[in-house]
Amino acid sequence: MPCVAIDLFCGIGGLTKGLNMAGINVAAGFDIDESCRFAYEINNKTQFICQDITNLKVEDIEQYYPENSIKALVGCAPCQPFSKYSSRYRKDGYKDDKWKLLYSFKRLVEESMPEIVSMENVPNLVNEDVFDDFVNALIEQGYHVEYQVVYCPEYGVPQHRKRLVLLASRLGDIHLIPPIYEKGNYPTVRMAIGELPHISDGETCKSDVLHRSSGLSKINKKRIRQSVPGGTWRDWEESLKLKCHKKESGRSFPSVYGRMEWDKPSPTITTQFYGYGNGRFGHPEQNRAISLREGAILQSFPENYIFLDEQHPAKKRELSTHIGNAVPVELGRAIGISIQQHLQDNGVNLEE
C-alpha cells in the first residue's frame, strides 16, 4: 500500500518537494498564507488549501488520504518565538500565539491517528513545555518517537543550519537515516551557487528573474569592497564603521555586513537574507548581497523551482520570507527516505 502524506504549514513546499523526491506522494498542503499557493502548486503538482490550522477539522484532512494507504501527517509549525534569530525569543516569545499551533498539530494527530508523524522545527523548541506535551501525547497514543537536532550540511543542505527533526510511528521504532555527508565533504557555497551568472547589486539576471540582488547605498558599496569572506565589519577602515559598532554593545554582532566563504556552507538563511547588512549575506566574490535565487538554492531548492511569473508577481520581502521560512528541501528528502526505509523494515509493501 502506498504512503501518502498531508503537509501542514506547507508554505511554498520545501518539505513537500523533499518528500516527493523521496518517493512519497503528498496529497495536499495546508497553510494560512495564500501567497504561497502559486509556488507550492506549480512546483509540486499538489493541491494547496488555504486554511487556518487552528480551525481545521479532522475530516478536512482525512478526505485527501486514499483508502488503503499508509497515512503520514507532517509539518513545520511556525515557531519564530523559539528561534535564536528572533528578538521575540529573548524578550517575550512565550506571549506569541504561534507556539499554540503545535497544539493544533497535536490535536489533528490524536483525531486522525496517522501511521507516521514528522515534525521539523527550530532546535530551541525542545526546551519548551509545548514540545514536551506534543511528544507525551504521541507516546500516550502508542507512537514510537525519536527526535534529534540535525546539522543540515550532513544531509546535503549547503548552509550552517540546525533543525529539530521528530519522527513517530505506530508501526515500530523509527529513525532518521544516518548523515550522508561528513566534515570535509559538506556541500559548499561554491558547489551550490558558484556557476550562476554574474550580476551587480540592484541587477536582475536576464535569464532568471529570481536571480536579482538588492541595490546598495554608496557607503555600503565601499563597505562590501573592504569585506573579507568569512570576516566582519572589523575589517573596514574606521570611517566606514557604524556608530553602534564602536559601542561595547555592538561588538557582539560580528556577523552583520559579512561575506560568505566559497568553500564552506553558508550561514543560516533567514527571511532577510537579501540584505547585505542583515547577516553574513554578502556574496563571496561579487560586491553585492546574495540574490533571491541564491538564497533559494542554499535552502536546497532545485535551481528551476518557480516562485513567480507575469501572472503571479511577488515582492522581494514576500519572496525572501517564503524562502527563509521553508524546510530545506534536502532535509525533507532525508525525512522522506527515513519514512520509506522504516515502512520497508516493518514489512509494508510499498506501491507507487
Model confidence over 267-296: pLDDT tens digits? 999 999 999 999 899 999 999 999 999 999
Q: Is residue 79 part of a domain?
A: yes
- The domain that holds 224 is classified in CATH as 3.90.120.10
Percent share of the chain, pLDDT over 70: 90
Tell me, yes or no, whether 141 and 211 share the same domain.
no
In a domain, 268, yes or no: yes
Domain that holds residue 53: 3-184+327-344
What is the model's pLDDT at position 78?
Answer: 85
Are residue 331 and residue 301 in the same domain, yes or no?
A: no
Same domain for 172 and 37: yes
Let me know whether 162 and 79 are in one domain. Answer: yes
Answer yes or no: is pLDDT of 352 > 80: no
Q: How far is CA 140 from the centre of its chain?
A: 29
248 and 226 together in one domain: yes
Q: Is residue 296 part of a domain?
A: yes
Torsions phi, psi of 245, nearest 5? -70, -25
- Number of domains the chain is built from: 2
Q: Is 350 a member of any domain?
A: no
Name the least confident of 18-27, 222-231, 236-245. 236-245
**Within a domain: residue 351?**
no
pLDDT band at 99 (very low <50, low <70, confident <90, very high): low
pLDDT more than 90, % of the chain: 83
- Is the same domain home to 155 and 208? no
Q: Are residues 203 and 176 in the same domain?
A: no
List active site positions.
79
Does residue 196 share a domain with residue 53?
no
* pLDDT for the residue 242: 83
* Residue 245 pLDDT exceeds 80: no
CATH (domain of 160) = 3.40.50.150
| Domain-located, residue 349 | no
- Is the domain of 177 the same as that of 301? no
**153 is a domain residue:** yes
Statement: residue 254 has pLDDT above 80: no
Assess whether 149 and 238 both reside in one domain: no
Residue 243 is predicted with a pLDDT of 76
Model confidence at 92, pLDDT cuts 50, 70, 90, reads very low
State whether 207 and 75 are in the same domain: no
Is the same domain home to 12 and 71? yes
